[in-house]
Amino acid sequence: MPAAPADSRPTLQDKFELDQTDRRIINRLQDGMPVCDQPYLLVADELGIQEHELLSRLQTMLDNKVLSRFGPMFHAERLGGGLALAAMRIPEDEFDHVAAQVNELPEIAHNYQRTHKFNMWFVIATEQKADVERVVSQIESTTGYPVYNMPKIEEYYVGLRFPV
Amino acid sequence: MNVLTEVQQDRLKAAIQDGLPLTATPYRTLSLQLDLPEPLVMEQIEHWLREGYIKRMGLVVRHHAVGYRSNAMVVWNVADDKVDQVGELLRQADCVTLCYKRRRQLPDWPYNLYCMIHGKSRESVLTQLELLTRQYELQHIPRSILFSNQQFKQTGGHYARRAS
């Protein structure tokens, strides 16, 4: 049996309660912000709050890890970087050990344990496209398990958004 | 067009990839920090937005922290001549947050279409999946549902070359 899921333990982010204004800020800024001299003022006006309130709420939500980032969403491939989704089949009792080995690498952007024979799924993000293969080989030689790279052929655009 | 030199572009990317400054005039803050004229900083970023190097300037929520505690990666094994059609259907479903066509890894992994469904609980994710399966008549397509047990690592990717 895996350990108790992380969300059963009280953490900073569990204690932080979003209020209605926080929610409006999140919903508004998931759609993006214009590039101009005082962009926060523009958005604050739209939401009917003060600019300093918007800035301090954003900072608080970043500090409490409700937001992972505020700023540009780069298109990795167009910048010349590499982005790959990869999977591994790891025996249950080896999982934590291998996960630690994989997560050690700075190129690993996300890593999820999933309910399947293919139970480890992670994203490899590299500065250069050619580096993805190097990272794959590195993981295979460090862990002793094969890495299945699942290259993207086509993206059906959705516009990732989480209404709150 | 690019208004900064490649070296200047790399410095600007490195300065913004972890976030836009939370100051009333974020582009002025960057221009002072990098010793570059503010209009050029803004113009370069607008160029990246127009060209799709930056998808948008906005925020990324930690979906877990805002109540989306369950996510499923649903993988489908769709006939090659039907996959684009099914991808176009899936991306329109409100509950689908990402949708990709990926290469199969035969014989171990026959799936070629991936979609993510985020929800407040596993039950709500499964309900949404059943609704969209019926709505788009996808009952005949073999699929597998991979829930995440735990998130081991979530960071933004780092795509900019380090400023030298």
User: Global pTM?
Assistant: 0.77
pLDDT tens for each residue of A131-144: 999 999 999 999 99
Of B16, B46, B64, the CB nearest to A71: B16
pLDDT tens for each residue of B114-125: 999 998 899 999
CB atoms within 10 A of CB B58: 20
- Which chain B residues touch A2 with a CB distance below 8 Å? 149-150
Contact yes or no for B159 and A127 at CB 8 A: yes
ipTM (interface pTM): 0.76
Domain positions in chain B: 6-51, 70-148
- Extract the residue ranges of chain B whose pLDDT is less than 50: 160-164
CATH architecture for segment(s) A76-151 = 2-Layer Sandwich (3.30)
Dist. CA B109–CA B126, nearest whole Å? 22
CATH architecture for segment(s) B70-148 = 2-Layer Sandwich (3.30)
Domain positions in chain A: 20-64, 76-151
Dist. CA A119–CA A133, nearest whole Å? 21
Mutate to test the interface with A, among B152, B154, B158, B162 (most CBs of A within 10 A): B152
Q: What element of type H or E holds A126?
A: strand A120-126
Local confidence band at A10 (pLDDT 50, 70, 90 cut-offs): very low
